[in-house]
Amino acid sequence: MSSANNKEYGELEQSMWRRFQDAEAMPDPDVWSRIEHTLVIQENAKYKKRLLFYRQLAAACFVLFILAGSALLMHFKQDQEHATLATAQREQTTINEADLPVTMPAQEQTIAAATPAKVPAQPEVTPSAVETIVSDELIYNAHPADEVKSQEPTYSLGNTIAANSTATIDAPQTTDMGTIAGSTKSSSTVIGGYPETAKGTIARQENYMPASQAIAAVPDSYTSPSAINPLLRRNATLGTYDTDKLATDNVNKPEVALALNTPGADNKQEKTAGSNSRWNLGMAYGSSYFDQNIAIPGYTITPPRIMIVPDPTVARQPPGPSISAESEENMRDARIEFEENTQAAMSFNVDVRTGFRIGKRLKLLSGLGYSQNSSKTKTNYIVEQFIFKPRTNERSKLQPTTVFLPSLHTFTTDSISVTKTKEPFDVDYSYQMLSIPVGLQVEGNLSQKWYWYAMGSTAVNFLMQTAIKAANPEISDVTYRFTDDSPFRRVHFSGNVGLGLGARISDAVSISFGPVFRTFFNSMLTDDNAVATQGRPYTIGLNMGINYKLDQ
């Protein structure tokens, strides 16, 4: 045999070394199968975890997409309805305008308005009187053409002084001053101007009359008060009528537009209704990191109790579970490892909120939310607990767990064994909560489409389910529902603070995004199970939302 002084190996030792080398080089197939099985289980656990996260993310994105698409569809449908209504109203307005009479020229309006006026009747002007009043020197010589058609008699207006003017009038038989007696087609009075030639005649300019002679040739009857006063009264009446009509038209234009519901009035009313809308509906999705902030005691299973003199009146405490020195050391290392390796994990929350504007910038928010908060730990230790049956004295083994759950309550088992694994594994803690938030939000405009917001709220959170899952086949999953007896608090109160930016896609739809911070007012564990000093859990993440403004 070999020794410290003898370096030679015997045949037995050489054979043992060869077997060791062969075992390392070619391990037993069972060893390979166990290793492969362990690796497959770990990969499946990681795959399931990632698959669950991607499913939740896809479901949240799908819900946001459906809501955003529905809101945009409703908005565009309303725009199309308004556009169709506006087109129909414009067509109706065009038809109504086509039915209205065409506006007459100024001269015809004056004559038509003067016709029904009550003015003292003037003597009827006859052709003989006209020929007597008008001098032959004021009329240009008209030479008929080769073919002259028969014309109705043309009479000159006796009390009107005009230049280069011609009007076609269908006048009644009885008229006042300014109209022609009888049924005449044309009336032309020329004093120092160019007369209008009748149809079928050729006018030639032969002689001109000076202005002084033309003025002197005007008879006195044209400037007499009996001829001028009726004209002045008529012009005053016509001017008052035109002014009142213009004012009435200007006043009635908005009323007519409102009665016809023109596109301009419709757009203005729609814009005002949208700006005065107080209610809005929003949905938000947030990705965050959650820190459960749970602490477990750092002392051993059976903390030392110093008793100088035992008091016989005090009942003795039941003895703690039996544990070996190695297990006790592993328990201490496992608790230290839990404190160091517990980290925040990816979480998400979905909120549906209704907003009510109570001021120009202030908005009241309330709604319903769902959140799944997660945390994780990497550990190397497995805790096994045993119970001895009183009568048979048989030892029964409970389900293996991690160091987390046994540290939350007093041990009632008879013995504990803490073993260390070769490879570390992950332990996930999941908390599903239903929230009812109530808060305020302040908004301010940055530009026509962009705005900023800041919000603060409080929420009541109901812990619906708690799940503890380990990526180790030896450890079973533990789930606590809302009605189960669990070491976790069922109702939590939290405060949320967030700020960010928003963009208006249209008058009714807008999106927003920004960071949000939420902290709980109580610890995750109940007071009975909080052996160590507990902290308050919190989340920090990014919130994305879509808002739809409701009409009044």
At 20-75, the pLDDT tens digits run 777 766 766 777 777 888 888 888 888 888 887 788 788 777 777 777 777 777 77
Angle of CA points 243, 244, 250, to nearest 5°: 90
For 25-77+277-304+319-549, which CATH class?
A: mainly beta
Q: How far apart are the first and last CA of the chain?
A: 101
Are 196 and 162 in contact by the 8 Å Cβ rule? The answer is no
User: Which of 367, 518, 356 shows the shortest CA–CA distance to 431?
Assistant: 518
The residues, ordered by sequence, that sit 6+ positions from 392 with a Cβ below 8 Å of its Cβ are none
Angle of CA points 435, 293, 367, to nearest 5°: 10
Dist CA 294 CA 409 (whole Å)? 14
Would you write out the chain's pLDDT as a tens digit for each of its 552 residues? 555 555 566 677 778 877 777 776 676 677 777 788 888 888 888 888 888 778 878 877 777 777 777 777 777 777 777 777 777 777 666 655 555 444 444 444 444 444 444 444 444 444 444 444 444 444 444 444 444 444 444 444 444 333 344 444 444 444 444 444 444 444 444 444 444 444 444 444 445 566 666 666 666 666 666 666 676 666 655 554 444 444 455 544 554 444 444 444 444 444 444 455 678 888 888 888 898 888 887 654 444 444 444 455 544 444 556 677 787 888 888 888 888 888 888 899 999 998 888 888 899 999 999 999 999 998 888 888 877 766 666 777 788 888 888 777 655 566 788 888 888 889 999 999 999 999 999 999 998 889 999 999 999 999 999 999 998 888 888 899 988 888 899 999 999 999 999 999 988 899 999 999 999 998 888 887 777 778 899 999 999 999 988 864
Spell out the domain ranges in the chain.
25-77+277-304+319-549, 106-147+154-260
Q: Between helices 225-260 and 106-114, what is the axis angle to 10°?
A: 110
User: Which of 406, 430, 408 shows the shortest CA–CA distance to 418?
Assistant: 406
User: Which of 235, 201, 180 shows the shortest CA–CA distance to 188?
Assistant: 180
Are 522 and 535 in contact by the 8 Å Cβ rule? The answer is no
| DSSP sequence for 34-91 | HHHHHHHHHHHHHHHHHHHHHHHHHHHHHHHHHHHHHHHHHHHHHHHHHHHHHHHHHH
